[in-house]
Each structure stands twice: as structure tokens, then as C-alpha cells.
Amino acid sequence: MKAIISDIHANLESLCAVIKDIELYSVNEILCLGDIVGYGADPEACTDIIMEKVDFSLMGNHDYALIHGPSNFNPYAADIIYKTTEKMYPKKMEENCDTDCFEPDFYRCDHNNTNAKCILLRHTDKYRWEFIKNLPEIKKYEYFTIVHGSPLNHIRDYVYPDVIESLWNADKIGAILSKFDNLLFCGHTHIPCIITSDYNCIYPNSCDYRYKLNPEKKYIINTGSVGQPRDRDNRACYLLFDDLYYSIEWRRIPYDIETAKQKITKMCGKDNWCSQRLLLGR
């Protein structure tokens, strides 16, 4: 069984809650579809958790913006990227450090405490920066593909479901379906759903959060967002993929939203919408 997470967005409280939930299952691999940073206030700790806990991670558009600067970002998101860059850009004192220098005593993951910091800045700024800088954009497995956006544009393309009628594009869905075999797992929209090869959209609450896949069909599967859900459910969202029984299950996990909000407000001011939308799940 694989756990697939996406769009963490520097939300340490939600990521800790999700990691705790994943550990309840017989998961042999954790995959991350990108956007480790952005929107949230704990980019360093979240990056360290991904490096420690996740088997493979992709680059998202916010990760790309961290390295190259935000382009076509709304002012709130851009502001947080600039502040994240200030936090994470390697300091001069580390320029001569050729390897990752860390202190093991700083590592802690107390899952009995829902407010626990799963990791306390174990890695150097330089090592984190290089990790994010070198994240790949897409990975193809034997019978499924993972990407942040879509095969048409790995980092920036949005695959919207039909619930957003103004952005639903059947021709585009057809083009995406032609680019992969079997299954495509993606993130980026923060809206968990399945788009089938016969152009149906299936949402978690319409199938009791579980779905048995048909090997004769293709599926575009959005995992939802760990750190900033946008389907009006404010609980953290991730996906379990049972590759033996060929089925998926979305998991919705409550977390300490108020603490995550307060951290963003402290970082960016009370007028930054990125803190308020956590409670609303949009």
C-alpha cells in the first residue's frame, strides 16, 4: 500500500497529523506530489519531515517559485514565498559545508501530542535548498504516473473537475488521458476527485471516500491537499492507494487549525487571506 500526499504548504500541524495517520496502516511507500512550501509558516520543518519520512517527492509550483521567484502568484501567495525565501535561502556561514550537517538530538516526533513538532530543523538551510531545487517534475511507475499539475505542464497545469463548471474542459481532459497509461495521480487544485476515462467526475463524499478502480479504465486521481484543503472540508486530506486490490481511499484528518492560522498571521500579518482560508477549507 502507498500513501500519496500533496500540497503540504508548510502546514506543520496538518503534516504531523497526516504522518501520524499514515503510521496506522501497512504503508510501504510514501509519495509526495509537491508544494512542500508556500502559504504556511513552517517551510523548514515541513521540508525536513518530507526528507525524513517520504520515499519520493516531486516539485510543485510553490517549490519552483521558492527557487526561481513567484510568477503569476496572487499578492498573498507571493508575499509568503518572499518570506519563505528569507527563511530558507542558505546563509553565508553554510557556504563551505559540502555535506548535510545536522544534530541528531534535534530530531523528535511525539505523536501523542497533537501539537508536536515532528521534526525540529534537523537539516541545514543549504541541504534543504538543494533538496527542493533538485526535485523532479514527474515520475512514471510501471502502472501509474505521478505529477503535481498534469502531463501537459508538470508544475503549473490545473486539472479541474466538473464541479468547477467554468474551468471544466473536456477536450483538455482527453489530451491529458492520452499522455499516460492506467492511472495518473496529481495535486495542485487541492480538490480531491477522480476523473474517469469516460469523463465522469467522482468526489470522495459520493463514494464514501473509497473507490474500487477498474483496470479497463484510465483515471486521473487528485489526492487533495494536506495543508490547505479547498473543497470546503477543512480537514487535512491525503490518499491511500492499495496497489494489491487496485483501490483508493481518501483520508480526512482533523488537525490544530488555530495554531497553523496564528503562525501565518504572525509571519504575514492578520490581513493575509492564507490564514483565514484554512478554517473555511477553501
Query: Could you report the per-residue pLDDT of 7-28, keeping only the tens digit for each?
Result: 999 999 999 999 999 999 999 9
Residues 6+ apart with CB under 8 A from 142: none
Q: Which helix (H) or strand (E) holds 128?
A: helix 125-133
Q: Is the pLDDT of residue 30 over 70?
A: yes
Q: What's the whole-number average pLDDT of the chain?
A: 89
> Angle at Cα 29 formed by Cα 28 and Cα 35, nearest 5°?
155
Query: Could you report the per-residue pLDDT of 67-110, keeping only the tens digit for each?
Result: 999 988 998 899 999 999 999 999 754 444 544 444 433 334 44
What's the CA gap between 167 and 155, in Å, rounded? 18
What's the CA gap between 125 and 203, in Å, rounded? 39
Angle between helix axes 61-68 and 125-133 (nearest 10 degrees) is 120
Confidence of residue 116 (pLDDT cuts 50, 70, 90): very low
What's the CA gap between 133 and 161, in Å, rounded? 30
- Phi and psi at residue 113, to the nearest 5°: -110, 115
